[in-house]
Amino acid sequence: MEILKKAASGKRKPELMRDVGLTYLQAKQYLSLLTKKGLLEVNAQNRFKTTKKGLEFLEKCMERPLFKWK
């Protein structure tokens, strides 16, 4: 979710790695997966940007928390 949030404005891989705290290998794996799932796209300037589908996914995640605190 953090990658999708940070990429909403469009960021290059090194910026995302720094902002989210990923190693090169982690970034390579996560960005590839999110791109294949259609949640991220890479534009002509090699910037990763969250797609409409990715933004909708984020909205749904925020509506339904994973944990319910007592």
Between CA 51 and CA 55 the distance in angstroms is 6
Fold of 2-63: Arc Repressor Mutant, subunit A (1.10.10)
Q: In the structure, what pLDDT confidence band is assigned to residue 63 with cuts at 50, 70 and 90?
A: confident
**Residue-wise pLDDT tens digits, 30-56:** 999 999 999 999 999 999 999 999 999
Q: Which of 52, 53, 43 is nearest to 11 (CA)?
A: 43
SS3 60: helix
* Every domain of the chain and the residues it spans: 2-63
**Residue-wise pLDDT tens digits, 4-36:** 999 999 999 999 999 999 999 999 999 999 999
Q: Is-above-0.75 flag for pTM? A: yes
